[in-house]
Structure 1
Amino acid sequence: MKLENGWNRFLLYLDAFPDMEKIEEQLANLNIVKRSSGTTEPTYLLGIDASKTVPAEKASLVAVLCSNGSIRIYDKERLYILREFRGYPGLNGVRFANACDSVYSSCTDGTVKCWDARLASEKPIQLFKGYPSNVFISFDISCNDHVICAGTEKVDEDALMVFWDARMNSQDLSTSKDPLGAYSETHSDDVTQVRFHPSNPNMVVSGSTDGLVNIFDISIDNEEDALVTTCNSASSVSCIGWSGKDYKQIYCMTHDEGFCWWDLTHLDTDEPMTRLNIPDVREVINVKEGILDYLVGGLYHEKMDKLFVVGGTNTGMIHLLSCTPSGLIHMTGLHGGHAATVRSFCWNMQDDSLLTGGEDAQLLLWKPGAADKTFTKKDSMKIASSMYQRVRVHSNDSYKKRKKQ
């Protein structure tokens, strides 16, 4: 019986190889099909999100958060700027609603702003006001578009997660909304990330510079009971997300390029929740094309049931890593696109296309199997280093994998 079970596992192991080869081939075949145009202003591209609603008669919209305090709306296929919402310094994150073309961003002035991406209007259509002294640095909207949650910087002893009802009330003509309430006890420092579950509107995960990653069920009345579990990254959290079948896993990246991966299905079992814990990915990853300077974010590919990690170099090369319980495996590197650090990306699951943006002010569209057009790599339009950004800062020096003897 043991021999039979072992043989079955071996056959499954062999069957997995064609899939991995197919994945690697698909990722390696990503080519640039379009480069953004229409602006010469030197700005970092800090965040990207694509519209979830794509009517047959309309092109898909892409929202890009820029370091000059603006949000640009692009036509995805042409990468042409359709409109721009300007003059809002301190914006953090950009997110489309799930059922309409409303675009949200949190702001250091203690508000979350909402624009209609189809209208060229300077003013937000909705304004979600926080409590006095709130400085929002992260946010997200639930999968049913009912609830917004924003995380604050620590002010005095408070680091909050603030909640609003995001639904439009036809009987209420006011565009300004006050909070429903806030969580104040579970984080002791800046709440750097907030992410709702992709299919369960009551589940939300938060990350903080205190190193904690907290999972909540907001359908439960009070904060203490709503806290499902706490995971510790042992470092300042820069990025979190959901992954795995039915999205029952959490991944986390830290500001010192660490990576953690937890399995929530083991909450009530004797199995360990931690699938992977790497204090510094740069020290252990074997990159085929040189070095890895930083991590950008994670991507769970539903079709492949695989978690990928996106990283890069300070010269603009993008690295795609496959996440396995035994470690991160370098899949491929994307060459010839960016001329400086890549800050943001957005993956489209329908056509397996990739959008990337960075410190060279360029927005690039990559597609698998596309005609390999020749694009001249543009010079970096990096802004002056003295400009203060409320974003993570990577070292200007490439990470040295070899330590002094």
Structure 2
Amino acid sequence: MMDTLEDTFRTLSITRRLQPSEATYILELSCPSSGSDVLAVCCSNHSVHLHSRETLRLVGDFHGHTAPVCGVRFSHLSPHLLFSGSADGTLRCWDVRRPGSVATQVFRSDLTHSYLSFDVSCSDRVLCAGTEQVGEDSFLVFWDTRMVRDGGEMGGLLGVYSESHSDDITTVKFHPRQADRLASGATDGLVNVFDLSLGGEDDALVTTCNCNSSASSLCWTGKDLDQLLCLTHDEGLHLWDVARPDSDDTLTLLSSADARALVQLPDGASLEYFVGGTWLSDEERILLVGGTNHGELHLLDCCGRGLRFIKSLKGGHSATVRCFQWDAISQSLLTGGEDGQLLQWKAGAEEISVGKKDSLKSISSMQLKTKAHRKQAIQKDRSKLA
């Protein structure tokens, strides 16, 4: 199976390209695991767009957020429900069968909270969002999704964790199979693992790993999903074994302050950034995607021994790629980025044009957060965190 997938990756080419109709970046995308023919993307104009999973055509959108959207996640149990989070201090749930409708649920906490990250537990029962730093504190906020109905707000709030991070919480990731297991990362250089079933924050915090930088993304990996992959805003990479988090023997499997140096690209090309990583469960391997600022992509295999080049994807994007997802159902790679394009890559494909190519005169001057987090410039000479 591994060889088959690698063959697929090595023959990927563009099958569909959706040109933007307005000057917006694509920040993140999400596909449901089954049962729905739409995919969702969040855009730099604070909207959420729905596209046909097969053709990429725009089939609807949702408006309601009034500040940058930090992500989109499909429900694990209902393919028709989509969650989004925003710096406007809300998480919202949408019914993708009703494009253009208002959110079916709105989740809020304190008025001072601005969300930078969020995730949904595998049981769909718990939502968690990470906030920007508020004064001296940063918060992990929890809601019970069953307690908010008919657009009601402030319902379902379970509480907050406030002691585990001291700076902006940039990524939160529930375990794919264990509903009570949660990992969080922040610009304070810490990656924490919680077991929510253990109660209060002090008891629930079972492991702390140090990435010595600002964490940008987390991914549960490994055959038993007991490893954590962490990427940082300055292109560091860390892979930890957290199988026994309470035993003080968390193992560092791979660690590099600048993992771009681990990659040998053909023709002397150099990797400029990482888009992200994902665990391919059927093949039991980590797919890492990196890129160059003019849009070229590189597929990499990541393991404890390091990084191995698989394939370069050229002729697609013309600017930094912000997100990707491997759609196992359609055996296609989906990518989106700062050129506003949404691309679908398949093995041995020939491109089918979707929409006309528009002039994006304003896109280069858009006032947006860059890929690097605004607090990325962490003092390199600070004392090492415990």
- The question of a shared fold, defined as TM-score above 0.5 by the shorter chain, is answered with yes
- Show the counterpart of 1:187: 165
Question: What aligned pairs does 1:3-402 form with structure 2 within 5 A after superposition?
Answer: 22-36=4-18, 39-54=20-35, 60-86=37-63, 88=65, 89-100=67-78, 101-167=80-146, 173=150, 175-178=152-155, 179-265=157-243, 267=245, 273-289=251-267, 290-368=269-347, 370-373=348-351, 381=360, 383-390=362-369, 392-393=371-372
How many equivalent residue pairs? 368
Q: Which one-letter code corresponds to 1:313 in the other structure?
A: T
One-letter amino acid matched to 1:51: P
Q: Residue 378 and residue 256 in structure 1: after superposition, are their counterparts in 2 closer, same or farther (change >3 A)?
A: farther
Q: 1:176 to 1:235 in 2, by over 3 A?
A: same
- Residues 351 and 79 of structure 1, relative CA distance in 2, 3 Å threshold: closer
Equivalent-residue separation in structure 1 for 2:351 and 2:28 (angstroms):
26
Question: Does the aligned pair in 2 maintain the 1:34–1:77 contact within 8 Å?
Answer: no
**Larger radius of gyration, structure 1 or 2?**
1
1:390–1:141 Cα change, 3 Å: farther
Aligned amino acid, residue 63 of structure 1: A
Q: Which moved more, 1:84-93 or 1:140-149?
A: 84-93
- Cα distance between partner residues in 2 of 1:270 and 1:177: 38
Superposed CA offset, 1:333-369 (max 9, x none): 111111111111111123321110011111011112x
SS at match of 1:224: helix
Shift of residue 283, structure 1, vs aligned partner: 2.4
% identical aligned pairs: 43
Superposition deviation, residue 374 in structure 1: 7.4
Q: Is the 8 A contact 1:339 1:378 kept in 2?
A: no
Does the residue aligned with 2:94 lie in a helix, a strand or coil?
strand
Is contact 1:212–1:232 with CA below 8 Å preserved after alignment? yes
1:24 deviates by 3.3
User: For the residues of structure 2 that align with 1:148 and 1:345, how far apart are their CA atoms?
Assistant: 23
Consecutive unaligned residues in structure 2, runs of 5 or more: 374-386
Distance in 1, matches of 2:302 and 2:359, equals: 31
CA distance in 2, matches of 1:61, 1:175: 26
CA distance in 1, matches of 2:314, 2:100: 38
Query: How far apart in 2 are the matches of 1:184 and 1:382?
Result: 43
Give the residue type in structure 2 aligned to 1:319: H
- Kindly state the Cα deviation for residue 157 of structure 1 after the two structures are TM-superposed: 0.7
Judge conservation of contact 1:96–1:103 (CA < 8 Å) in 2.
yes
Higher relative contact order (CA closer than 8 Å, sequence separation 6+): 2
User: 1:44 touches 1:383 (CA, 8 Å); kept in 2?
Assistant: no
How far 1:23 moved relative to its partner?
A: 4.2
User: Contact 1:70–1:85 at 8 Å: present in 2 too?
Assistant: yes
Question: Paired residue for 1:7?
Answer: none
Q: How has the CA–CA distance of structure 1 residues 177 and 350 changed in structure 2, closer, same or farther, with 3 Å as cutoff?
A: same
Gaps of 5+ in 1: 1-18, 395-405
User: What displacement does 1:35 show?
Assistant: 1.4
The alpha-carbon deviation at position 63 of structure 1 amounts to: 0.3
- The structural deviation recorded for 1:296 is 0.7
Output the aligned Cα RMSD: 2.3
Tell me how far apart the structure 2 counterparts of residues 216 and 209 of structure 1 sit (CA, whole Å).
18
Q: Distance in 2 between matches of 1:391 and 1:126?
A: 30
Contact 1:310/1:319 (8 A) holds in 2: yes
Cα distance between partner residues in 2 of 1:294 and 1:223: 34
Q: Secondary structure at the match of 1:180?
A: strand
**Secondary structure of the corresponding residue to residue 371 of structure 2:** coil
TM-score (norm 1): 0.85
- SS of the equivalent of 2:106 reads strand
Read off the aligned partner of 2:56 and give its amino acid letter. L
Q: Spell out, residue by residue over 1:256-276, the C-alpha distance to the aligned partner (whole angstroms, 9 max, x if none).
A: 000000011254678661000
TM-score normalised per structure 2? 0.89
Whole-angstrom CA distance in 1 between matches of 2:135 and 2:250: 36
Measure, in 1, the Cα distance between the counterparts of 2:139 and 2:147: 24
2 CA distance for matches of 1:196 and 1:20? Answer: 26
Q: Structure 2 CA distance, aligned partners of 1:156 and 1:238?
A: 22
| Separation in structure 2 between the aligned mates of residue 174 and residue 139 of structure 1, nearest angstrom | 19
Secondary structure of 2:243's aligned partner: helix
Q: Secondary structure at the match of 1:27?
A: helix
